[in-house]
Structure 1
Amino acid sequence: MLLNPEKTQFIRGATPVLLLSVAPVHGVLPVLAAPDGAVPRREGWNIVSKLTLCVVDGPGEAGFIIPAAAAPVIDTGNGAEAGEMGDWCTDTERAGGAVVLSLDELPEVLDRAYLVGSGSAHGGFMASLN
Structure 2
Amino acid sequence: MKRLRMTTFSVRFPWIIIGLALALTILFGAQFPKVSFDNDPENMLAEDEHIRVFHNEVKTRFNLFDFVIIGIVNEEHEDGTFNVETLGRIDVLTRELISLRRNAVGLPEVMRDGHP
TM above 0.5: no
**Greater relative contact order, per chain length (Cα 8 Å cut-off, separation 6+):** 1
- The answer to which structure has the higher helix fraction is 2
Larger Rg: 2
Structure 1 length-normalised TM: 0.22
Structure 2 length-normalised TM: 0.24
- The answer to which structure has the higher strand fraction is 1
